[in-house]
Amino acid sequence: MESDTYDYLIDFILTGAESEFDNSRISFPRSYKMLVKSIKENDREALLKYLRGWYKGSRESSCYDTHKIKDDNLYYGYWCFEAGAVAKRLGMDDSDMQNEQYYPYDLVHFDA
């Protein structure tokens, strides 16, 4: 089944495609501004800025503040998977991101 929906950011994360960047082809350009900059410019600082503002910028997400719910089965942690995926795709040296609160360092470096 084919879809009319295309998102550059999703395409990059899933396939590593380096097609010409088109801001109109990103579903949420404002939310992902720093993440897109990190891709376009291979910019670690932009990725770090995105990562450090990720939780606060996720207020509209259903997982926001789930750590406050008393059900142990709901909260599994907060992980910015897209930052890890971008760092992996770009081959960034992320050794100093290991202790960043929301960075999934172990997942990025998992070898099956």
Cα 19 from Cα 66, distance rounded (Å) = 37
The C-alpha R_g of the chain, in whole angstroms, comes to 15
pLDDT of residue 57: 79
Q: What's the chain's length in residues?
A: 112
Dump pLDDT digits (tens) for 25-82.
888 888 888 998 999 899 999 999 999 998 887 777 666 676 777 776 666 668 899 9
Cα 88 from Cα 14, distance rounded (Å) = 11
pLDDT of residue 19: 65
> Is residue 102 a contact partner of residue 93, using CB atoms and an 8 Å limit?
no
Residue 14 half-sphere exposure, CB side, CA atoms within 13 Å? 6
Dump pLDDT digits (tens) for 3-20.
567 788 888 888 887 666
Count CB-CB contacts under 10 A for residue 102.
18
Distance from CA of residue 106 to its chain's centroid? Answer: 15
